[in-house]
Amino acid sequence: MTDTDAAAPNLSSPAHGLTYDVVVVGGGAAGLSTAASILRRRGGITVAIIEPSGSHFYQPGWTLVGGGVFKQSQTRRSEKRLIPAGADWVQAAATGFEPESNLVHLSNGSSIRYNVLVVATGLTLDWDAIEGLNETLGRNGVTSNYRYDLAPYTWQLVQTLGRGNAIFTQPPMPIKCAGAPQKAMYLACDAWRKRGLADNINVSFHTATPGLFGVKEFVPALMEYIQRYHIDLRLKSNLTKVDGKNRVATFTNVAEDGTKTTTETEFDMLHVVPPQRAPDVIRNSPLAGEGGWVSVDPATLRHTKYENVFALGDVAGTSNAKTAAAVRVQAPVVAVNVLATLDHKPAVADYNGYGACPLTVERGKIVLAEFGYGGKLEPTLPTWLLNGQKPTHLAWMLKEWVMPALYWDGMLKGREIMVAPHKIGTPR
């Protein structure tokens, strides 16, 4: 799909110093969904989306690219094609914020003014935080499903590896889609098992976290697959260095008493998930709170200091899982609260921390983890139809067929299927 596939949206020139009713910083899943939800509710208001990239990526699909299920091209579309009707696309990056003056500064040297600001920049993948990683990514058996260009290499390695050591890593939290590091591993193990190679490949999972998964109810099902695939599970083990030429990974390990040790492990395949942080433009701005994330009320997603600023998605300083499923629920909440703010009214909707992680434990089966703030289980479907604590084929079908369609043709277009914003003060 190319930029010529659709008529161009109304591209504004920020050099004009325009003022918009709503400025959305970020044209990813969170930004587009929120802008579309706002405009579906109230046409005629002025909305600008600040996004430098000409491509938009369905990032949840990269796990399936790395597992040989999706083609790389299925996860990429033209950004221009996805800009909602009625919104202006400002193809630039935000370089600074002046919330006291309602200003966003842009990479082209100009600025844009807003009445209400929605921050949806996403987060930064910190590849440089692991010594030697950048120099060897995409070769020497080092890959990651966290990059569009590398996910096909993951599947190439899975197909060509016949014996040796395969290492999968997970950095300290928070990260986007905390189950993704495991998904890559389970799909690889399933492929090797089906080819009769399970006894030839030693698989280990090094995670910096103290447990396999953050919500205990889903751990038993995952542990069954850890044992089935004979995976060497290493908790509190953080990747700190990669020597691609010699194929050696260095880990810092924390013992129960807090003692730290360093170990080196040879590998034939290394799937890396990088540490992740708030973007510098947010960390160094007045919007930043703890950890550099945008400081917001976890329920209304309104900034804790600036009443006309909201944030959602990966950059929001909330404790929910950073997933597309969370964005799907957050966007309608932010949309109605933005409109209330434009009307000089208090917030009208709240968010319960819902997030979902479809854990692909084998090709054709998924453990669908759905939970809210505090790890409270929040299943969408009744358990008699889909028990999220067990691997099911129905969950796989949702992941492979329903969720991509829901993403492209539902949430990005402001169609709020089963995610109507919850009104503050009413029963859930």
| Helical (H) or strand (E) element with 396 | helix 393-397
Burial (CB < 10 A; 0-12, 13-18, 19+), residue 405, is: exposed
Which DSSP state fits 30? H
Nearest CA among 239, 191, 214, 202 for reference residue 376: 214
**Residue position matching structure tokens 């034939």:** 268
Q: Which amino acid is at 219?
A: V
Distance CA 396, CA 413 (A): 24
Cα–Cα dist 360/399, whole Å: 9
- What's the rounded Cα separation, in Å, for the pair 341 and 38? 12
For residue 112, CA distances in Å to 80, 94, 198, 220 come to 20, 10, 57, 51
Q: Using alpha carbons, select from 403, 391, 324 the residue that is nearest to residue 364.
A: 391
Element (H, E) at 219: helix 219-228
> Residues 92, 177, 221, 366: which is the catalytic one?
177
Contacts of 181 (CB under 8 A, 6+ apart): 168, 169, 170, 205, 207, 271, 273
Residues 363/187, Cβ–Cβ less than 8 Å: yes
177 noted as active-site residue:
yes
* H-assigned helices in 161-204: 180-194
The stretches of 343-410 forming alpha helices (DSSP H) are: 393-397, 403-409
Residues in the chain: 428
Rounded to a whole number of angstroms, the distance between the first and last alpha carbons of the chain is 41
**Active site includes 189?**
no
Both tokens of 52, joined, read: 């430098």
Neighbours of 263 (CB within 10 A): 12
Closest CA to 408 of 43, 76, 140: 76
β strands within 300-344, DSSP E: 309-311
Contact 174, 211 (CB under 8 A): no
Residues sharing a CB contact under 8 Å with residue 301, sequence separation 6 or more, in sequence order = 310, 311, 312, 316, 318, 330, 333, 334, 337, 351
Residue of 29, 357, 412, 419 marked active site: 357
Q: Which residues are catalytic?
A: 177, 357
